[in-house]
Each structure stands twice: as structure tokens, then as C-alpha cells.
């Protein structure tokens, strides 16, 4: 669910003609006279002519910063199947009367579904933890269920995907619902305990945490419109629930921040921003209605987090909520649409909401209105927090709107970033079609189609669209060769693997990963061998780093072949004893343009030469003899298509450069870059690297 109409008045006939006397389509930032409740910005309703918008930068990978978080989102009850909670109990009474039942059967298809996420090429995945599975009865703790989530996290990380966990996404155990759920403040400690235990279990691996998903939607749908459990229509009870949700969020945030890893994790509230615009812009009553709804649905919650004082919708006074002020490290924004307000708004979802004449209706009947995402960002900007789009997507059964929906919303996000707004990431709702609450299975939001009979998942065109935009922006996995013996370094490498030798205060590997991370890389695979066990405790905050140890020395080629199942389709190959701080983006551009199976970096500033290149292609590689026709030296970083490994690889010991480079003569591309590389092959070179790092501003 993502929109709401409050029962303030009688239903309006959906055929009412839209009156557009002051609002023009294609006009930018139409300034209105009335300022919104926070009095900071003018209330505007931008509409643009999307046929004129060019999406070049989305396609060529220049629209978003290198470290942008590319994600997809789901929620436990909507995909897992087999849940017993407040929702499963309510479903027979819901609008659609459909039962969630097996849902997508994700509980039994976790690995397959992680494959779907990996195939999209995204770097982040938002999921929720089903409290009712873990604490099915008061006082119980289901270790196996908790372990399932721990395994999910491990599997995500092993696939280079950063998890984001939500602690409350609309569902709760029946025993807790029976105690009155969020209606009673004395119940909150149960959810806090659950959150603490899950945080203790996962926070060594999960950096991103959402406390509560959409408290305004939960409150309004459950206690005002009666479309969510418990199906109540009471402003009085809604007021108590709203207040306690904010208390719960604040306590959860403060408690988790105080725990081990709390300081390393980013914990935030997820707020659905539903815009309300006056239907007729000349009518003060429409303005008033829009303003009231905006205040109740959006502003009072945001102001609560900003000031620490919360005035629940329909309450007369704001109350101080302990710990609420600044209780978020980021603000999650779920954005779906805007609604046009009149004093006569329908209270039934069956009646189509009003839309502007040029707008397109989604299957949920509300319009696609991407321009509003910018307004949602502006609305939360005053919190001074990084913004993450924790959900955005569309119900679109035949997938004919979704590709454009994705492009428009990403375009708006990219423009906001270019204008200086701190938007860090975008999670598409949803990974796959799923159980859409009161709508049951009738509203399909997925990038993958799910056949709910067979449970088969199929990528939609929109999934391919999203994947291709993500791919054009993401820095591929870096694969680091760290298995060498390092004999030239002498004694030290008898005790420590070369990549863990410290230079300027930390292992060379950390310096290499720092650089890769600055180049937007979030995923590294380190191939170890000699003394490989010593990497066990190694981590690099903000990056997924996986290790793969060769059983016996296999040489550079053998090590890659041995790790082939862990390689991404395209990867950046680096040496574990070599710092080569080059711009990955231009290297990747050369690779893309050349359409080569492999692109190596070469410099001409080196005392020896080991390759011959012409017109951007490798003509010959010769590591052993210095002939006069050589005109470049391979300087370390290269881009490799996995197909090269599969084609030229074999079991046993073999050298990557001596096998693959000659074989790819005439085919491999050469990227000329004069940036110095710093290896630590000998004690002298190690000392030079130390000096370089001390003096550099890298």
C-alpha cells in the first residue's frame, strides 16, 4: 500500500472532470502562493514534459556517483510464505480476502532468490526480519529462524551484496497483537528486546538498519481506514498507536546505537512520503485539505524526528518523546505518488483518485508522478540527514509502464544529487511480484514476474532496464591476487602473507581496498594461498570482501581458475602487493569502447618495457626479453571478462600473463595511463611505497 485517503468526507464520483485552470503540464516549478506547514519552501507542483527528457546519463553511467547504493527491496511477510502473524490472522477479513499462504516461498528458495538479486547486478538488498517467526510465543526464541536470517546475510555478503535489515515492516506476532500491540506503551519492550537480539546477532555483518517501516501507513491503514490489521476505524486508537510507534523507534535507535557495533551501523526510520496537492489550485478549500493531510501524513512525523516533540495526527498538542530528537543516521524515503485533495475525497480505494489529465494511472489507480520524488527529498532535507530511497516502484501487471517509471524516478534522483541533495541510494520496490497486503496478489510490483502457482520467477523487461542502468554505473568486483610467496621480501613473508605486510600503519591490502572503494567498488574477492588463514579476521568497512584460498600454489592463472565460480562476469584484476591509484572509470570506458575481452593498463614511463601496442590494442607481450619494438609496460590494473578465464583456464599450475596475454594479442585492449604504480616486491620498493603513502594525499 502506498497511498491513503482519509475519511473526511463523502466519496467523489471518479468521472468528475479535472479542472486545470492554473496548472499547466510541462511547466516547471509552478510557484504557489501558499507556503507549506513548515514554512520553509514554497509549495510547488512541478510537471514536466517527459517526452523531451533525455536519459543519456542514465545509460552511459554518468548520472550517479560511484558509491551510490543500488538496491532492491522486499518485506518478510510479502515473500516468505508460511507466516503466522497479525496479517495472516487478518487476511480472511481483508479487502481482497486473499491469503498470503506460500507467498513467493522465499523461505525455501533463499539461494535461488539471492541469485536473482545478483543477476540484477545491484549492490544492496533491503529485507525485513519476521518477528513472529523468531518469537512465535511470548518468551520463546526460535534459534533456527534467527539463524535463517544470519545465513541470508552470509549468503548475500558472499555474493557481494550489502544487506539492509528492517525490524518492523507491518507485521507482528499474534500474542503481541492480542496484548494490544502498539496501542499500549507497556508492550514496546517486547519489540525492543527482539530488535536487540537481532542486532546482537547480525550487526557484525549488517551495516544498514531500518527501525520501523512507514509508521504513518501502519497507523492510518490499521486504525483509521481499517484496511490493515486490526481493521479499526478510530482516531483515538490511531493517536495512541502513532505515539507509541515513535516511542518505539526512538528507543530502538538509542538502544542499538549503545550496543557493540552501534557506532559502526547506520540506523534510520523509513518514512513514506505521500504528497497531497490541491486539486483546483484556485480553491482555498482544496488547499486547506491538502495542507491538513500533508501535516497529518508527512510533516508531523518528520518534525517529530527533527525536534523530539511529536504531535500525532488529530492530537491537539505535541509531546516530548525521549530519545526521538535526531534518532536517525539516515532517513529512508518510500515514495510512490501524489494525491489531489478536495474536501470531498473518496474513502474507498475502489473509487479512482483524481489525477491530472496528462498523468498515467498505475494499476493501483494513483498516478505515476516522478517529479514528486524531488519534492519528497526537499521535504526531509531539513533533517540534515543522508537520504536513501528505501522504496520506489509501481504496480504494473503487464510491465508496460515500469521501465519508464524507473527511468523517470532515477532521473529525478540524479538531478537532486547534482543539485547538492545528499541522496545515497535507491532501492527498487520490489525484487519480485509478491503479496501486496490488502490487495493480495493482484498488484504486481516486481522486477521479476512470479507465477504464484509454479513459483517460477522470470525477469521482466523493467528488470533488464534497471539492471542495465545499474551496470553502467557500478564499478565491477575487484579481484586481488594475494597468494604469492613474496620471497624477495625476505624473512617477513615467511610469517605474514605479502598483502598483509603493513605500510604506513596498515596492510597494503587495506590501502588497495581504500583506493578501490573510492573508485566505487563495493565488492572484492581476494585470492589467497601462502599463509592464507591469516586473512580470516580481515575486514574492510563498507565493502564486501571475500577470500578464496588455493589448496596448493597454482600460479596466477591457476588461482583465478580455482576461484572461477566466485568471479563476476566482468572484474577488475589487481595485484595484492601493488598499489596502482588510477581512475577506474576511464579504464572501464576504454574497455567498453574497445569491446575487448581484456583491457590492460600500460605506461610508457618505466625503465623496462614488456609489451607492444598500437591503436589501443595489444600486439605482443614479452616479459623476458627486451626487444626494441616494445613500447609499453603493463602497470597492474586490468579489466577482464570472465569468459577469458573460462576459455583459457585449465586445472593445475599456470601463469595468467604468460598464457592469456600472448593468446589475446591483437584482441586485448591497452589503456595508456601514466599514473605510477607502487609495488612492494623488494625491501627497497617497500620503503619507497612507505614514503609515498606518508607524503601523498591519496
Catalog residues that contact ligand GAL under the rule CB under 6 A. Answer: 1-2, 75, 78, 213-214, 217, 272, 334, 391, 429, 436-437, 445
Shortest spacing between CB 127 and ligand GAL, in angstroms: 11
| Residue (170 or 535) nearer to ligand GAL, CB | 170
The answer to whether 166 and 270 have CB atoms below 8 angstroms apart is yes
| Residue (429 or 575) nearer to ligand GAL, CB | 429
The answer to whether 327 and 337 have CB atoms below 8 angstroms apart is no
Shortest spacing between CB 170 and ligand GAL, in angstroms: 7
Shortest spacing between CB 79 and ligand GAL, in angstroms: 10
| Residue (444 or 591) nearer to ligand GAL, CB | 444
| Residue (333 or 544) nearer to ligand GAL, CB | 333
Residue 208, H or E segment: strand 208-213
| Residue (272 or 289) nearer to ligand GAL, CB | 272
- For β-strands 266-278 and 309-310, DSSP reports them as unpaired
Task: Give the cell for residue 88.
Answer: 495472516
| Residue (107 or 445) nearer to ligand GAL, CB | 445
CA–CA gap between residue 552 and residue 31 (Å, rounded): 70
CA angle 249, 543, 507 (to 5 degrees): 130
CA–CA gap between residue 277 and residue 295 (Å, rounded): 12
CA–CA gap between residue 565 and residue 282 (Å, rounded): 63
Beta strands per DSSP E along 217-318 = 266-278, 309-310
Shortest spacing between CB 430 and ligand GAL, in angstroms: 7
Contacts of 625 (CB under 8 A, 6+ apart): none
| Residue (246 or 669) nearer to ligand GAL, CB | 246
Shortest spacing between CB 656 and ligand GAL, in angstroms: 46
Instruction: List phi, psi (to 5°) of 163.
Output: -80, 150
Shortest spacing between CB 353 and ligand GAL, in angstroms: 14
With cell 553502467, the residue in question is: 472
DSSP string, 622-686: -SS---TT--BEEEEEEEEEHHHHHHH--SS---HHHHHHHHTTTTSEEEE-----EE-SSHHHH
With cell 483524481, the residue in question is: 354
CA–CA gap between residue 211 and residue 246 (Å, rounded): 10
The answer to whether 669 and 634 have CB atoms below 8 angstroms apart is no
CA–CA gap between residue 378 and residue 421 (Å, rounded): 8
CA–CA gap between residue 545 and residue 538 (Å, rounded): 8
Shortest spacing between CB 657 and ligand GAL, in angstroms: 50
Shortest spacing between CB 602 and ligand GAL, in angstroms: 50
Beta strands per DSSP E along 494-554 = 502-503, 506-507, 523-528, 544-549
Shortest spacing between CB 395 and ligand GAL, in angstroms: 7
Shortest spacing between CB 208 and ligand GAL, in angstroms: 16
298 secondary structure, DSSP code: I
Shortest spacing between CB 128 and ligand GAL, in angstroms: 9
What are residue 574's DSSP bridge partners? 480
The answer to whether 668 and 482 have CB atoms below 8 angstroms apart is no
| Residue (2 or 211) nearer to ligand GAL, CB | 2
| Residue (159 or 392) nearer to ligand GAL, CB | 392
| Residue (87 or 561) nearer to ligand GAL, CB | 87
CA angle 481, 202, 160 (to 5 degrees): 30
| Residue (75 or 152) nearer to ligand GAL, CB | 75
CA angle 619, 620, 626 (to 5 degrees): 135
With cell 507485521, the residue in question is: 171
Question: From the CB of residue 79, how many other CB atoms can be counted at a distance below 10 Å?
Answer: 26
Q: Measure CA of the first residue to CA of the last residue in the chain; give whole Å.
A: 47
The answer to whether 679 and 575 have CB atoms below 8 angstroms apart is yes
Shortest spacing between CB 169 and ligand GAL, in angstroms: 6
Shortest spacing between CB 209 and ligand GAL, in angstroms: 16
| Residue (355 or 660) nearer to ligand GAL, CB | 355
| Residue (251 or 362) nearer to ligand GAL, CB | 362
User: What ranges in 228-267 are assigned the alpha helix state H?
Assistant: 235-257
Shortest spacing between CB 272 and ligand GAL, in angstroms: 5
Nearest residue to ligand GAL, using CB? Answer: 2
| Residue (4 or 12) nearer to ligand GAL, CB | 4
Amino acid at each position: 500500500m502506498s497511498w491513503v485517503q482519509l475519511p473526511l468526507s463523502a466519496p467523489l464520483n471518479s468521472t468528475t472532470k479535472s479542472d486545470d485552470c492554473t496548472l499547466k503540464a510541462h511547466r516547471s516549478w509552478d510557484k504557489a502562493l501558499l507556503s507549506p506547514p513548515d514554512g520553509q519552501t514554497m509549495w510547488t507542483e512541478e510537471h514536466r514534459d517527459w517526452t523531451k527528457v533525455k536519459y543519456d546519463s542514465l545509460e552511459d553511467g554518468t548520472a550517479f556517483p560511484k558509491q551510490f547504493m543500488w538496491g532492491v527491496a522486499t518485506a518478510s511477510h510479502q515473500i516468505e510464505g508460511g507466516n503466522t502473524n497479525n496479517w495472516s490472522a487478518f487476511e480472511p477479513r481483508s479487502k481482497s480476502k486473499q491469503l498470503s499462504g506460500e507467498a513467493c516461498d522465499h523461505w525455501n528458495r533463499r539461494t535461488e532468490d539471492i541469485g536473482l538479486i545478483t543477476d540484477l547486478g545491484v549492490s544492496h538488498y533491503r529485507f525485513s526480519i519476521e518477528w513472529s517467526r523468531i518469537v512465535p510465543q511470548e518468551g520463546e526464541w526460535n534459534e533456527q529462524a534467527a539463524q535463517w536470517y544470519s545465513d541470508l546475510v552470509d549468503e548475500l555478503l558472499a555474493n557481494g551484496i550489502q544487506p539492509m535489515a528492517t525490524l518492523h515492516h507491518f507485521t507482528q506476532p499474534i500474542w503481541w497483537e492480542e496484548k494490544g500491540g502498539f496501542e499500549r506503551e507497556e508492550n514496546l519492550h517486547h519489540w525492543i528486546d527482539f530488535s536487540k537480539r537481532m542486532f546482537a546477532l547480525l550487526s557484525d555483518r549488517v551495516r544498514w538498519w531500518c527501525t520501523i517501516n512507514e509508521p504513518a501507513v501502519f497507523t492510518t491503514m490499521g486504525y483509521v481506514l481499517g484496511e490493515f490489521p486490526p481493521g479499526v476505524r478510530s482516531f483515538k486508537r490511531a493517536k495512541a498507536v502513532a505515539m507509541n510507534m515513535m516511542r518505539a523507534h526512538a528507543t530502538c535507535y538509542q538502544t542499538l546505537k549503545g550496543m557493540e557495533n552501534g557506532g559502526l551501523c547506520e540506523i534510520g526510520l523509513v518514512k513514506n512520503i505521500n504528497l497531497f496537492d490541491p486539486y483546483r489550485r484556485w480553491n482555498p478549500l482544496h488547499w486547506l485539505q491538502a495542507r491538513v493531510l500533508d501535516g497529518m501524513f508527512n510533516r508531523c512525523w518528520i518534525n517529530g524526528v527533527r525536534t523530539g516533540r511529536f504531535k500525532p495526527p488529530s492530537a491537539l498538542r505535541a509531546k516530548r518523546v525521549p530519545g526521538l530528537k535526531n534518532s536517525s543516521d539516515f532517513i529512508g524515503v518510500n515514495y510512490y505518488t501524489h494525491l489531489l485533495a478536495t474536501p470531498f475525497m473518496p474513502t474507498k480505494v475502489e473509487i479512482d483518485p483524481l489525477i491530472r489529465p496528462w498523468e498515467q494511472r498505475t494499476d493501483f489507480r494513483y498516478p505515476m508522478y516522478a517529479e514528486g520524488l524531488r519534492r519528497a527529498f526537499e521535504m526531509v532535507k531539513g533533517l540534515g540527514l543522508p537520504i536513501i530511497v528505501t522504496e520506489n516502484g509501481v504496480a504494473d501487471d503487464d510491465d508496460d509502464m515500469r521501465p519508464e517509471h524507473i527511468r523517470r524516478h532515477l532521473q529525478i534522483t540524479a538531478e537532486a544529487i547534482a543539485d547538492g541533495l545528499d541522496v545515497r541510494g535507491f532501492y527498487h520496490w520490489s525484487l519480485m511480484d509478491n503479496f501486496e497486503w490488502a490487495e493480495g496478489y493482484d498488484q504486481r510490483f516486481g522486477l521479476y514476474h512470479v507465477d504464484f502457482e509454479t513459483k517460477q520467477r522470470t525477469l521482466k523487461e523493467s528488470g533488464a532496464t534497471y539492471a542495465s542502468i545499474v551496470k553502467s554505473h557500478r564499478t565491477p568486483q575487484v579481484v586481488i591476487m594475494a597468494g604469492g610467496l613474496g620471497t624477495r621480501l625476505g624473512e617477513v613473508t615467511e610469517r605474514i602473507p605479502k598483502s598483509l605486510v603493513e605500510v604506513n600503519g596498515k596492510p597494503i591490502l587495506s590501502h588497495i581496498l581504500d583506493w578501490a572503494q573510492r573508485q566505487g567498488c563495493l565488492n572484492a574477492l581476494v585470492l589467497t594461498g601462502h599463509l592464507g588463514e591469516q586473512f580470516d579476521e580481515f575486514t574492510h568497512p563498507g565493502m564486501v570482501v571475500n577470500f578464496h584460498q588455493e589448496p596448493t600454489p597454482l600460479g596466477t592463472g591457476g588461482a583465478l581458475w580455482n576461484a572461477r565460480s566466485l568471479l563476476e562476469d566482468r572484474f577488475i584484476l589487481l595485484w595484492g602487493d601493488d598499489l596502482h591509484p588510477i581512475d577506474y572509470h576511464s579504464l572501464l570506458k576504454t574497455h567498453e569502447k574497445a569491446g575487448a575481452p581484456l583491457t590492460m593498463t600500460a605506461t610508457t614511463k618505466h625503465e623496462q618495457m614488456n609489451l607492444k601496442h598500437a591503436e589501443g590494442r595489444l600486439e605482443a607481450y614479452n616479459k623476458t626479453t627486451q626487444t626494441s619494438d616494445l613500447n609499453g609496460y603493463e602497470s597492474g590494473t586490468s579489466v577482464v571478462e570472465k569468459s577469458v578465464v573460462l576459455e583459457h583456464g585449465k586445472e593445475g599450475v599456470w601463469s595468467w600473463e604468460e598464457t592469456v596475454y600472448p593468446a589475446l594479442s591483437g584482441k586485448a585492449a591497452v589503456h595508456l595511463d601514466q599514473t605510477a604504480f607502487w609495488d612492494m616486491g623488494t625491501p627497497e620498493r617497500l620503503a619507497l611505497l612507505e614514503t609515498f603513502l606518508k607524503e601523498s594525499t591519496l
